[in-house]
Amino acid sequence: MNRQGSSFAAFSRTALYAAVAIVAAAPAMAQNTTSAIGGRVLTVEGKPLAGATVTIVHRESGSVNTLVTDNDGRYSTRGLRVGGPYTVTVTKGSDKEVRNDIYLQLAETLSLDVQLGTSVLSTVVVTGSGASSKFNSDNMGAGTAISRKELDAYASIARSLQDYARMDPRLAQTDKDRGEISALGQNARFNTITIDGVRTNDTFGLEGNNLPTAKQPISIDAIEAVQVNLSNFDVTQQGYTGANINAVTKSGTNELKGSLYYVYRDDKLSGKRYNRTTDSYYDASAFKEDTKGFTLGGPIIKDKLFFFGSYEDFKSSRAAPSFGPVGSNMTNVGITPEQIAKAQTVAKAYGLDIGNSDTTGTFLTVKDYLLKLDWNINSQHRANLRYAKTEQAEPTYAGLNSSSLSLSSYWWTQKKTIETVVGQWFADWTPDLSTEFKLSKRDYDSVPKNNANLPQIQLVYPADATNKSDRSLFFGTENSRQFNILRTKTWDGYFAANWFIDDHQLKFGGDYSSNDTYNAFLQNTSGNYSFKGTDPAALWAAGIPSTYAVQLPLPGKALEDGVAQWKLNNLGLFVQDTWTVNKNLNLTFGLRLDRASTPDTPIRNGAAQTAFGYDNGQTIDGQTLVQPRVGFNYAFEGLEKKKAQLRGGFGLFQGSAANVWLSNPYSNTGAATATFNCGPTSTPCASTKFTADPANQPNVAGQPPALAVDILSPDLKQPSVWKLNLGLDTELPWGGLVAGVDYLYTKTKDGIYYRHLNLGAPVSTGPDGREIYYNAAGQDVKCWTDGGSTATDKCGAQAKAGRNTKFGNVLLAEHTSQGGGNAVTLQLSQQNQGWSWNTAYTRTAAKEVSPLTSSTSSSNYANRATFNPNEEVNATSATLIQDRVTAAVNWSKAFIGKYKTTVGMVYEGRTGKPYSWTFKNDMNGDGYSGNDLMYIPTAPGSGEVIFRGSKANGLSAQAAEDLFWSVVNENADLSKARGSVIGRNSAKSKFANTFDLRLSQEVPGFGANHKGVVTFDVLNFGNLLNKKWGHIDEIPFTAGGGNGGNRRGFVNFAGIQNGKYVYSVVGADDYETRQNKGESQWAVQVTARYEF
């Protein structure tokens, strides 16, 4: 902070002879892992000075870059370490100028012009952070830079980059449990996370936190700086349409430095959980979580070769469930201990151990290793090499939510390993030409260790007078883990050259990526049974299931033939011209070309092509996209001659579809395996008997195999988005305040949604105009006598009545050009000696055709609330945070000697996530429950629909109608939709407020330049003050079971009578207090660190 404060004074003192930061010539290179300095050396008269020597010294490592200015007085060097301090010395003859204490930000160029030959002695302090960095000619798009100082100042109990990325006001943690981040309302899978230029995010697309592991793969203690990019118009930016969170690791210096640290928290250092069932509070389940680690860096050869290493060991038993049976102190699900005990008794009769609900003794363990070498080859060449490895074992408690419980046989431990190597070489060949070369390799393995080897078994307890929704008890082997292995191997290469010609900087080069995938994801290979009834355990004992599914190999094939084994390559070429028009205006024009290729095709299914008209062997091989990009920065004087700039740009950005979506057609060809199933709206299960042996599951008698086929549309392309950004930044005349306003607009060019090709033709049209796929029996009220979630057994109801019975799900990944949004951000910040603060407000609008919530095509299709199943309708994004207010303040002061006390606070206030109002069951007969948007009648007594109660609640017709309208009147979004079908995601969950606090105190160490640091992180500080504050109350994903994404319901479809829908009213699904990871409660984490 002292450096920044003095820099402002220095700017004014030396304005006549040094143009610093905002008017300099050197534009950004947008390197991912380093920094740069560039500019011009001028005479007193302002003319270019050729032949001047510019020496740039990184003081801590002794790294020296010596440059000579060209005929235009220009100099530039890249590949510099992030941070500092640097000293820049310019000499020619007897003239000399010195710039001290220069600090550089990640992936940015500090523009530094110097006038040589003045009679005034000039030693100026410059910093590349804070306000001076914001006012820079390379700043054209929208983003946020986060230095090591801010990483140290602000709390992060998860010790994760994503906690710090939320400092950008356009990013929001939409799911703190999973660590999910949305940029501008887009799907988290459209973000990338890079560390040292290597993609660290979950490129395959399985994880909600967009990371390949539960914990960030590289320790936050090894990170030097972070950058968030939302609209960086440099042509090297690729692979994301949302945001890029980019970080670089630390490097060794000439001084041996290191740290030892221990991080601890447990259940005694956290707030009480909230039981919504009883409106009471209970102690968190006992847990312990600690992290042990060290960092060490120093010289191998002074001024030449350096090392940095880190190790971290994390262990936690915190991921305990927050849902339990009736009578437990957790949120009750509506299943009694007696019902669980009866299921265990039946299991013993089968000779099975289905486990219990005890989570003690299970731990998430993660180990991180890192080693980095930096080599100053000479003053023109620099190189580095970094190796990192993460090993994880994560217990997973599936099937635990507001409508279901599971036993330990259903759980598993996910074993994961990610290993990366990256090397970089930076070269300054002449004063006008420099290059960068980077090569990296990444290996990733993920394999579940299941607690049991059984079929999946689900006991379904129907809704009753006490419970508005069905409840389920799961045990056995979870159906998606029965044959599940993921391995990927990725190579990436990058080369770029920068060439100065007069007032132009040309950048050109290319990048190449090759990714090998082995993905075994075959569901139900060991069988999947459900038993539904008042006493489902007795039905299980009898052995006749309500539903059953098994995936088996076709004749002459093996399950291994259903494994996706394929390679995806991408070649990128780019060229860009940055033109310094004058000292105020910089313009950038560039083109980027991406071309995808794959040598592999799925096994072709000719029968599917004949039946549905699409070739399942279609891939994205050969797809090419040209992406134009332009940007500008115009610097001018603001109020009272303060600095100001107008910046912006426009361009096309290609992202990457989650590889799992492109991989599904290789798994589901319909030519290797087939699914056999039975159920109340398909083939009856009367002749199917439960079999416990997972290797000998029965076929369904009389049913042909249902071939599941995934297909890519020939129109499908990698996701791409147009982005337009316009921003204004200005210093205000008062106390160093800096204000800014940003407008960011996005328009989807190439998006993805899913269509179901095997629904068959609609059987009829419903009273509100929607397509109905039930047969006549399925539409008859006689099949819905209970008013519950499913049709009456054996009533003859058939979903997808016109389907091709030789096939099951035939799902097409289709192209759409609909979707996009905009965001307006207002920001205000101030930096002073010892403290700084910033605050921002962002208003966002975002729309999409599909939320793409899942890794499987069937879930992506099903978890979208629709009027008609295959519609291409643009609606509010499922991850939109419409209004977000953020504030951060940090303060530091040494009260005793040089030992600082530091306080950092971060506030976030945001609107809740959107959700849809849908029927709770399958209303249109497409085979999926919970995803059909509701029709809301115009008024009570309108006679448009027929109301009834369910068998479980026994409501009369009038009482059911009264309950219906009470729900409508209590929810403004429903009231607005009277006389129409309510729109997707038209409702919002509750507003949430959170404060996170960090307190740090330095203490003396045992030697010179040693110190200790004790840090307290307080998550959700407001909840510590009042247990009712800080709750995150949301409508959860698929509330009450079924599909539809974030959706809420209070009506079951109960048939069509006299041309009118029959509504069985059961009451509205409740909010859920999100607390699986304690995100709605306060928590304290203590860190003890010794630095030397």
Peptide linkage before 85 cis (omega within 30 of 0):
yes
Which one has a higher pLDDT value, 219 or 14? 219
Q: Helix, strand, or coil here: 185?
A: coil
**In the structure encoding, which two tokens stand for residue 883, read together?**
């209004």
CA dist., res. 974 & res. 939, Å (int): 12
pLDDT at 106 exceeding the cut of 90: no
**In the structure encoding, which two tokens stand for residue 263, read together?**
């991080």
Among 10-24, 126-140, 205-219, 881-895, the minimum mean pLDDT is found in 10-24
pLDDT at 537 exceeding the cut of 70: yes
Q: What is the pLDDT of residue 354?
A: 97
Instruction: Sort strands 74-80 and 35-42 into parallel, antiparallel or unpaired.
Output: antiparallel
Q: What is the pLDDT of residue 3?
A: 35
Q: Note the pLDDT tens digit of each residue in 363-408.
A: 999 999 999 999 999 989 999 999 999 999 999 999 998 889 999 9
Q: Note the pLDDT tens digit of each residue in 332-344.
A: 899 999 999 999 9
Q: Which run of H or of E encompasses 162?
A: helix 161-165
Beta bridge partners of 531: 459
**In the structure encoding, which two tokens stand for residue 282, read together?**
């209970």
Q: What is the pLDDT of residue 1080?
A: 95
pLDDT at 250 exceeding the cut of 90: yes
Which one has a higher pLDDT value, 248 or 107? 248
Confidence band, pLDDT 50/70/90 cuts, at residue 179 = confident
Task: Tell me the CB-side half-sphere exposure of residue 787, using CA atoms within 13 A.
Answer: 25
Q: Note the pLDDT tens digit of each residue in 850-907.
A: 999 998 999 999 999 999 999 999 999 999 999 999 999 999 999 988 999 999 999 9
Q: Calculate mean pLDDT across residues 622-648.
A: 92
pLDDT at 24 exceeding the cut of 60: no
List the one residue out of 1012, 935, 945 whose CA is nearest residue 978. Answer: 935
Q: Helix, strand, or coil here: 830?
A: strand
CA dist., res. 30 & res. 498, Å (int): 11
Asked whether the CA dihedral 667, 671, 673, 674 is positive or negative, the reply is positive
Among 763-767, 1010-1014, 1038-1042, 1084-1088, the minimum mean pLDDT is found in 1038-1042
Contacts of 718 (CB under 8 A, 6+ apart): 594, 596, 620, 623, 625, 654, 655, 656, 657, 750
pLDDT at 132 exceeding the cut of 80: no
Q: What is the pLDDT of residue 527?
A: 97
Confidence band, pLDDT 50/70/90 cuts, at residue 640 = confident
Q: What is the pLDDT of residue 360?
A: 75
- Residue 213 CA from chain centroid, whole number: 12
Q: Note the pLDDT tens digit of each residue in 791-826.
A: 988 899 999 999 999 999 999 999 999 999 999 999
**In the structure encoding, which two tokens stand for residue 923, read together?**
């209303």
DSSP string, 93-139: TTEEEEEEEEEE-TT-EEEB-EE-S-SS--EEE--SSTHHHHS-TT-
User: For all residues of the chain together, what is the average pLDDT?
Assistant: 91
Q: Helix, strand, or coil here: 858?
A: helix
Q: Are 259 and 295 in contact (CB under 8 A)?
A: yes
Q: Note the pLDDT tens digit of each residue in 135-151.
A: 888 889 999 999 999 99
pLDDT at 6 exceeding the cut of 50: no
List the one residue out of 17, 27, 2 whose CA is nearest residue 129. Answer: 2
pLDDT at 160 exceeding the cut of 80: yes
Q: Helix, strand, or coil here: 781?
A: helix
Q: Calculate mean pLDDT across residues 719-726.
A: 97
Which one has a higher pLDDT value, 1041 or 249? 249
Among 377-391, 484-498, 676-690, the minimum mean pLDDT is found in 676-690
Q: Note the pLDDT tens digit of each residue in 309-340.
A: 999 999 998 766 778 899 888 888 999 999 99
Q: What is the pLDDT of residue 208?
A: 76
Residues of the chain with pLDDT > 90, as a percent, come to 75
CA dist., res. 412 & res. 452, Å (int): 8
pLDDT at 123 exceeding the cut of 80: no
Confidence band, pLDDT 50/70/90 cuts, at residue 130 = very low
CA dist., res. 590 & res. 317, Å (int): 50
Q: What is the pLDDT of residue 718?
A: 95
Q: Which run of H or of E encompasses 1087?
A: strand 1083-1091
List the one residue out of 170, 181, 243, 183 whose CA is nearest residue 210. Answer: 181
pLDDT at 19 exceeding the cut of 60: no
Query: Terminus-to-terminus CA distance in the chain, angstroms?
Result: 23
Q: Calculate mean pLDDT across residues 723-729.
A: 97
Contacts of 55 (CB under 8 A, 6+ apart): 64, 65, 66, 67, 88, 89, 90, 91
CA dist., res. 990 & res. 969, Å (int): 17
DSSP string, 141-154: S-EEEE-HHHHHHS
Q: Note the pLDDT tens digit of each residue in 515-527.
A: 999 999 999 999 9
Q: What is the pLDDT of residue 63?
A: 87
Q: What is the pLDDT of residue 133?
A: 62
Q: Calculate mean pLDDT across residues 30-46.
A: 81
Q: Helix, strand, or coil here: 613?
A: coil
Q: What is the pLDDT of residue 492?
A: 96
In order of their start, the domains of the chain are: 2-137 (2.60.40.1120)
Q: What is the pLDDT of residue 669?
A: 95
Please give the biggest Cα pair distance in the chain: 101
CA dist., res. 521 & res. 448, Å (int): 11
Q: Helix, strand, or coil here: 636?
A: strand
Q: What is the pLDDT of residue 685?
A: 92
pLDDT at 32 exceeding the cut of 80: no
pLDDT at 40 exceeding the cut of 50: yes
Phi first, then psi, for residue 184 (nearest 5°) are: 60, 30
Confidence band, pLDDT 50/70/90 cuts, at residue 1042 = confident
Its pTM stands at 0.89
Q: Calculate mean pLDDT across residues 23-43.
A: 64
Q: What is the pLDDT of residue 118?
A: 64
Q: What is the 3-state secondary structure (H, E, C) of 705-774?
A: CEEEEEEECCCCCCCEEEEEEEEEEEECCCCCEEEEEEEEEEEEEEEEEEEECCCCCCCEECCCCCEECC
pLDDT at 30 exceeding the cut of 90: no
List the one residue out of 931, 921, 925, 883 whose CA is nearest residue 1046. Answer: 931
Q: Note the pLDDT tens digit of each residue in 554-593.
A: 999 999 999 999 999 999 999 999 999 998 999 999 999 9
pLDDT at 12 exceeding the cut of 60: no
Q: Are 339 and 359 in contact (CB under 8 A)?
A: no
